[in-house]
Amino acid sequence: MFIIINSGSSSLKFKVFDNIEGKTTIAEGLAERIGVDGKVVIKYQGQSITAEIEMKNHEMAVKIILDQLLDLKIIKSYDEIKAIGSRVVHGGEEIKESVIIDEKVKDIIKKSVKLAPLHNPGALVAIQAFENIVPKVLQVASFDTSFHQTIAAEQYLYPVPNNWYEQHQVRKYGFHGISYQYICKYFAEINQKKPQDLNLVICHLGNGSSVCCVKNGKSFDTTMGFTPLDGLMMGTRSGSVDPSIIEYMIKETKQDASKITEMLNKQSGLLGVSEVSSDMRDITIAAEKGDKKAKIALEMYTQRVAQWIVQYLNNLDSKKIDGIIFTAGIGENSHVVRAKIIEKIKLIPLEIDDEKNIAPYSDFKKISKKGSSINIFAFRTDEEKMILNDIKKYTKN
């Protein structure tokens, strides 16, 4: 058995696979409200089992999840666990690929806590909890930042005093790397291409949204920056705004910088503009019904993605472009958003096939017409499968 973990600040998602190829998910679940009260939901054999159990911290959550796996006979004993893979948001500059977790790696994750204060602590505690409970089991970490370590200094540096970078690590790190890696791997396999020959613009459009320019198989640039607040407009995040707004709003509202930053993270984006919802489904429905603010939010969102696509295509050799890919919750599911984005790209002759765009699909589909100058795809991402694949490097079965 292989367990894949994705820990948030007060939650812990997990998936259990019976083999390294990940063809079937045996069970999956979520421990949430960690540190508040505690609730565990496990989906297993078509059933959803919910338990309300107090979880003071991530260590208790890990213990409860493992107990539930035993109680439900998903595993007969801890000996059946072959490896555990964890998603870690931030690996700083040092981690460039998935790694076996040892003391040095734990130190790097710890050092990066100040760069990802909401995410790295939960991951670290969960890793430590597994180590305490099943010390002999191999643990591997996959990082959201590592895929972007190929970005060159002229892209990752900000035009600010150099010592902000040299002394304070202020630079673009980029996120959603596990998802981009998955798309690249499977796109290359499906199209029988060498990974190093891939040239793509990938739009990961979910509650958090970013775009990545993949040049010769490597991340050349991405829209998220020092934190996941940068770049595109998102569900509740503003994306890039004039930085002077922060000081101005501090003075206007007499609130401190952390409150304004929190508003940029949690009350902006689709939610802030539409005043309807952060959920793209609600936005499209409200816009269709004529809600003016929802319409503006939808137009803003799609306009910003379109602009980044054009910018990023400009970094690629036009004869070698393999495609534009839409992925994550919105990118995979919203034909309306995909069509609107492509419609807003005027510089390049792109043509969406409306029937293909709307048609149901399983893993991926081409949604462009034959005459489109660049192929366009919708592609379902699977970060857990990518982490499982990362474990494969370090195990025999």
Place of tokens 């998602």: 13
Nearest approach in angstroms of CB 212 to ligand AMP is 15
Nearest residue (CB) to ligand AMP, 139 versus 227: 227
Q: Do residues 100 and 45 make contact, with C-beta atoms less than 8 angstroms apart?
A: no
Nearest residue (CB) to ligand AMP, 83 versus 383: 383
Site for ligand AMP in 298-357 (CB under 6 A): 328-330, 333-334
Nearest approach in angstroms of CB 49 to ligand AMP is 23
Nearest residue (CB) to ligand AMP, 90 versus 176: 176
Site for ligand AMP in 175-194 (CB under 6 A): none
Nearest approach in angstroms of CB 207 to ligand AMP is 4
Spatial CA neighbour of 325 closest among 230, 188, 196, 192: 188
Q: What does DSSP say about strands 364-366 and 376-379: parallel, antiparallel, or unpaired?
A: antiparallel
Alpha carbons 194 and 184: distance in angstroms, whole number: 10
Nearest approach in angstroms of CB 70 to ligand AMP is 30
For the chain, give me the number of helices (H) and strands (E)? 15, 14
Select the residue whose beta carbon is closest to ligand AMP and give its number: 329
Which tokens sit at 186? 């499977």
Place of tokens 């936005």: 283
Nearest approach in angstroms of CB 341 to ligand AMP is 13
Which of 18, 144, 197, 317 is an active site residue? 144
Site for ligand AMP in 259-288 (CB under 6 A): 279-281
111 burial (CB, 10 Å; 0-12 / 13-18 / 19+) is middle
Nearest residue (CB) to ligand AMP, 37 versus 288: 288
Neighbours of 15 (CB within 10 A): 23
Total of residues contacting ligand AMP (CB under 6 A): 11
> Could you report how far apart the first and last alpha carbons of the chain are, in Å?
10
Q: Is 144 a catalytic residue?
A: yes
Query: Would you give the binding string for ligand AMP spanning residues 226-255, x where CB under 6 A is met?
Result: ---------x--------------------
Nearest residue (CB) to ligand AMP, 223 versus 334: 334
Alpha carbons 100 and 276: distance in angstroms, whole number: 44
Which tokens sit at 195? 């990974």
Is 56 one of the binding residues for ligand AMP (CB under 6 A)?
no
Compute the residue count for the chain. Answer: 397
Question: Under the rule (CB under 6 A), what is the footprint of ligand AMP?
Answer: 206-207, 235, 279-281, 328-330, 333-334
Active site residues: 144
